[in-house]
Amino acid sequence: MRSAPLSGLLPLLLGLRLLLGGGAAAQYSSDLCNWKGSGLTHESHRKDVEQVYLRCSEGSIEWMYPTGALIVNLRPNISPASYKHLTVCIKPFKDSAGANIYLEKTGELKLLVRDGDRSPSRVYCFGYDQGGLFVEATPQQDISRKITGFQYELMSKGIAADLHTASGEFWGVVRLPPPVLGV
């Protein structure tokens, strides 16, 4: 009888560990561009903040039955030195509901999209160095049919500056001012 190579057993052992209660706090997307998740997977004894890691310059987040919060880590496959030249734009889905979307930097939150904001063509842009995305579920009596979602895109600051002349897909861009230093 031939034994399986150790490298073939590793994924199986890691999967069993997750199933038996050693779940990870971070969630990785299978395609590294888009993430779909559910607030129903939260366990009462675990932290309610989940980390999501995405490695593409564009994609989407879709969070069904939002509870707790998500920290969305956008880490494109470019040199970290190039991050300062990037602009992040997000466009909430038309029927997005159940959570607020914030810009977060060093613990400070700035509201980008309020739960239930029905501006389907609005796009929110900010410099990559201004912070990351923090998505927080709003208290709900009934979470059924609540889905928070948005598309994201990372682009060079030069391209983002010209968004007002871009196609209707980007019409309604809201640019956040650069951070004020020393405040």
Q: Which of 44, 94, 90 is nearest to 67 (CA)?
A: 44
Per-residue confidence (pLDDT) for residue 174, from 0 to 100: 57
Q: In sequence order, what are the residues at sequence separation of 6 or more whose Cβ sits closer than 8 angstroms to the Cβ of residue 54? A: 29, 32, 33, 34, 35, 72, 73, 74, 75, 152
Q: What are the structural domain ranges in the chain?
A: 25-175
Note whether 29 and 73 are within 8 A (CB).
no
What pTM does this model have? Answer: 0.71
Per-residue confidence (pLDDT) for residue 26, from 0 to 100: 54
Q: What is the pLDDT of residues 144-166, one digit of tens each?
A: 778 999 999 999 887 655 554 44
For residue 7, which amino acid is it? S
Pick the CATH number of 25-175 from 3.40.50, 3.40.1350, 2.30.42, 2.60.120: 2.60.120
